[in-house]
Amino acid sequence: MTAAAWEVHSQSVAETLALGRRIGAAARPGDVVALVGDLGSGKTHLAKGIAEGLGAARAHDVTSPTFIICHEYLDGRMPFYHLDAYRLHGSADLEAIGADEMLEGDGLAALEWADRAPEALPDDRLDVRLEVTGAETRRIALAPHGPRAERLLAAVRRAAGEAAR
């Protein structure tokens, strides 16, 4: 992790959702969140919180887009593109569905299983690695790459009451 990275210890699904809400509330158009973690680590819960933070009316319906590849939530304060690379065979598959327009677009894009398509990710992004530490507990490491992601992480930390270092 870089010096600007931040580690959170979530004690529950509710805390993971709250972190996601802070990310959604602080996001600006063009922000990208790259989600990495094993099955069941909380990637989709975090994405649901992001949708809630953006004010998406269908945030309660957020589910993993594993079989659809992308869910779009267009009714919040900006579009939310929730993508999933689990079933894809690398960055070329992601690019083939036009994901670059979402990853560099007018809203916030969150890509689950981002480690399966690293070449498709923009250089400026917030990497979020989720690790299972217990039945409901998670270690969540947030690492910014680039000035846009650094601004986003600083805003999230302020919202959480933690001074950015």
59 or 40, higher pLDDT: 40
Confidence at residue 73, expressed as pLDDT on a 0 to 100 scale: 82
Question: In the numeric block, which tokens belong to residue 155?
Answer: 């805003």
Q: Looking at the whole model, is its pTM more than 0.85?
A: yes
- Please list, in sequence order, all residues whose beta carbon lies within 8 angstroms of the beta carbon of residue 66, skipping any fewer than 6 positions away: 84, 86, 87, 112
Cβ–Cβ under 8 Å, residues 149 and 6: no
Q: What average pLDDT does range 148-157 have in this prediction?
A: 96
What pLDDT does residue 1 have? 44
Give the mean pLDDT of 23-43.
95
CB 138 within 8 Å of CB 41: yes
Average pLDDT, the chain: 86
Structure-token pair, residue 40:
């069941």
Looking at residue 161, its pLDDT comes to 87
Euclidean distance between CA atoms 47 and 35, whole angstroms = 9
Render pLDDT for 59-97 as a digit per residue (tens, 0 to 9): 777 766 655 666 788 889 999 998 888 766 566 666 656
Q: Please, what are the domains in the chain?
A: 6-159 (3.40.50.300)
Give the residue with greater pLDDT, 122 vs 68.
122
Q: Is the dihedral of CA 11, 35, 152, 97 positive or negative?
A: negative
pLDDT computed for residue 119 by the predictor: 85
